[in-house]
Amino acid sequence: MDDLGDEMHEECGVFGVYSQENRNVAHTVYFGLYALQHRGQESAGIAVSFADKIFYHKAMGLVPEVFAGNKLDGLPEGDIAVGHVRYSTTGASQLLNAQPVVFTGKCGKMALAHNGNLTNTKQLRDEMLSANAVFQTTIDSEVMAVMINSLSDGDVLKGVMRACPRFKGSYALVIMTTDKLIAVRDSYGIRPLCLGTVVDDYVVASESCALDAVSANFLRDVEPGEIVVIDGEGLHSYKMEGIPEKSGMCIFEYVYFARHDSVLDGCSVYDARYSAGRLLARNYGVEADIVSGVPDSANVAARGYAEESGIPFVEALAKNRYVGRTFIQPDQRQRENSLSVKMNAMRANVSGKRIVLIDDSIVRGTTMRKIIKMLREAGAEEVHVRICSPIIKHPCHLGIDIQTYSQLIGAYKDEEQIAESLGADSVKYLSVEELLSSCSKSKRGFCLGCFNGEYPYPLNGETDKLKLE
C-alpha cells in the first residue's frame, strides 16, 4: 500500500443560476465554483444561455486557471448558466471529459453538469449504442445527457422524468436549456444539492457555502428524488416515481468532503465535526500534552477534542496553503510529489510532547504513516491517532475513488494492527453509532457502505469486481 496515495476524493461540484434578466451570470457561477473548488480540482467549466444559443468554456486546471485572462469575460451576458468542477471517478482525466456536457438534441441546445457516479453506466451505454446513439466521451454524465434527450420527445422535463428512474447510483444534476434551469437529486439523496435566491434570481449549488459566496439566501435543500424546474414562471417541483422511504446521503460529506462552513440537509458540517472530536475525547481519551489536527478538515474536530479533554489545541503541522488535497493530481507520482511539499512538522510545538493527532479518516495509511514519522523526527515522544469516522472496510462505487479492497488498510487490519503498521502509539476510531450521533441534526438517513458494506444499491454487473479485488 505504500506506493498509493492516501486520501479519498469525491467526484465534483455543480452550480447553476437562473436570472430574470440578461446579466453577467457567468461571473456568478465563477464565484460559486471557486467556493466549490475543494470538490474537484482537475477541470472546470461554465456554460451560458444567450439568444437561443449556449456558449461555454471548459479546460483542465483550477477555476482561476481555467478562466484566466479574458476567458470569463469572453462568455456573453445571459439569463441562465451552469458550472462544474471535476475530479474523475468515471472517465479519464482529460479535457474531452470535462463538464458541463453541451449538446444539441430534441430539446434544442442543452448543457448538463453532474456530481456523482452511476453504477449501471455500461448497461445504459450499450443499450443506447444499439439504438445508434453516438458518444464523444467516456463519462457517465454524457450517458445521462443522451438518455434524457432520447426519452424527451422534445420536452426536457419529460426526458428527465423518464430517464432518472433508470439511473442507478449517485447524482446531483444541474441541466440547462435555453429557457430552463433544472436541478435533480437522486432518489436516495446520496449527493447534496441546495437552492438559494438572490433578489429574483435562483441559484443551485452542491453546498450552501457556494450560496454564501454569491450572497444568495439559502432557500432549502433539494429533496431526494426531487426534480426542480426554474423558468420564467418561477420554481416548480416534481417527484420521481418509486422514491425509497429511507434516504442515504453519503456520510463522508460531513466527515471530509464538504467545506466546514456548509450546512447539508439541516446539519452544520462544523457542528458535526466538532461533535465528533468531543466524542473521541469522551470515549477514547489518552494522557497527552497537546491535541492537533491534520489540516485542514480535521482541525474542527481537534478543537472539539481539546475542549472536551482539557488538553490544549496546538498546531503540530504547518500546511503549504498553495498545495491542494493530495489527490489534486490523478497521476500517482504527482500525488506523491504534492504530498512531500504539502505539510511540515512544527518542531518547536511538538518536541518532547505527547500528541493526540486527530484526522477525519484513514484510507490506505500512506499519508498518516509519513506524518507520524515526520512528528517523531521533530521530537514527538508519543503520537496517539484518533479518527473521526469508523474503520473504512469496503470500497465505494457511488462517487468516491476507493475502488477495491486492496486500497484499504482497514479491510484487513484492526485498530492494534493499524497502529503497528502506521508506527503510532495507539489508534482509535469512532463507531458507526457515534458518527451517526455527531450528524444527528441531519434530516436524512445515511449511506454507510464503506463502513458496513450496506449500500443503497447492491453490487452488481460492472461493480461485482469490487468483491473480488
* pLDDT tens digits for range 152-166: 999 999 999 999 999
Dihedrals φ, ψ of 327, to 5°? -90, 25
Report the run of H or E that residue 236 belongs to, with start and end: strand 234-239
Report the run of H or E that residue 86 belongs to, with start and end: strand 78-86
What CA–CA distance (Å, rounded) separates 30 from 36? 10
- Summarised one tens digit per residue, pLDDT across range 449-459 is 999 999 887 65
User: Quick one: pLDDT at residue 242?
Assistant: 87
pLDDT digits 0-9 by tens, 22-34: 999 999 999 999 9
Residue 405, Ramachandran bin (φ over 0: left; ψ between -120 and 50: alpha; else beta)? alpha
Q: Write down the pLDDT at residue 332.
A: 52
pLDDT higher than 90, residue 95: no
> What's the grid cell of residue 398?
457511488
115 bridge partner residues: 172
Q: Is the pLDDT of residue 17 over 60?
A: yes
- The Cα–Cα gap between 357 and 387 comes to 8
Whether the Cβ atoms of residue 174 and residue 181 lie closer than 8 Å to each other: yes
Among 123, 167, 107, which residue's Cα sits nearest to residue 141? 167
For residues 225-242, give the mean pLDDT.
Answer: 96
Surface-to-core class of residue 113, CB atoms within 10 Å of its CB (0-12 exposed, 13-18 middle, 19+ buried):
buried
Topology (CATH) of 12-247: Glutamine Phosphoribosylpyrophosphate, subunit 1, domain 1 (3.60.20)
Cβ neighbours of 142 (radius 10 Å): 23
pLDDT score, position 315: 96
Q: Which pLDDT band holds residue 11 (cuts at 50, 70, 90)?
A: low
CATH 3.40.50.2020 fits 271-441, yes or no: yes
256: its cell numbers? 471530509
The DSSP line for 223-263 is PTTEEEEEETTEEEEEE-TT--SS--EETHIIIIIS-TT-E
Q: Which of 123-137, 288-302, 337-351 has the lowest mean pLDDT?
A: 337-351
Q: How far apart are CA 410 and CA 43, in angstroms?
A: 31
pLDDT at 137: 85
Q: Binning pLDDT at 50, 70 and 90, where does residue 328 land?
A: very low
Read off the C-alpha cell for 139: 463519462
Task: Compute the half-sphere exposure of residue 55: CA atoms within 13 Å on the CB side of its CA.
Answer: 15
Per-residue pLDDT reduced to its tens digit, 342-396: 789 999 999 999 999 999 999 999 999 999 999 999 999 999 999 999 999 998 8
Give residue 374's identity as a one-letter amino acid code. Answer: M
Predicted model pTM: 0.90
Please, are residues 379 and 347 in contact by the beta-carbon 8 Å criterion?
yes
Angle at 271 between CA 210 and CA 83, to 5 degrees: 15
Instruction: Output the pLDDT for position 6.
Output: 56
Q: What is the pLDDT of residue 442?
A: 96
Dihedral sign for Cα 265, 400, 448, 185, please: positive
CB contact set of 19 (below 8 Å; sequence gap of 6+): 25, 78, 79, 80, 200, 201
**pLDDT score for 8:** 54
Question: Is the predicted pLDDT of residue 331 greater than 70, yes or no?
Answer: no
Are residues 40 and 58 in contact, defined by beta-carbon separation less than 8 angstroms? no
Could you tell me how many helices (H) and strands (E) the chain has, helices first? 16, 23
At 182-220, the pLDDT tens digits run: 999 999 999 999 999 999 999 999 999 999 999 999 999
Query: What letter represents residue 221's amino acid?
Result: D
Predicted confidence at residue 68, as pLDDT, reads 94
Active site residues: 12
* Annotated domain spans of the chain: 12-247, 271-441
pLDDT at 382: 98
Cα 397 to Cα 166, 293, 349, distances in angstroms = 17, 29, 41
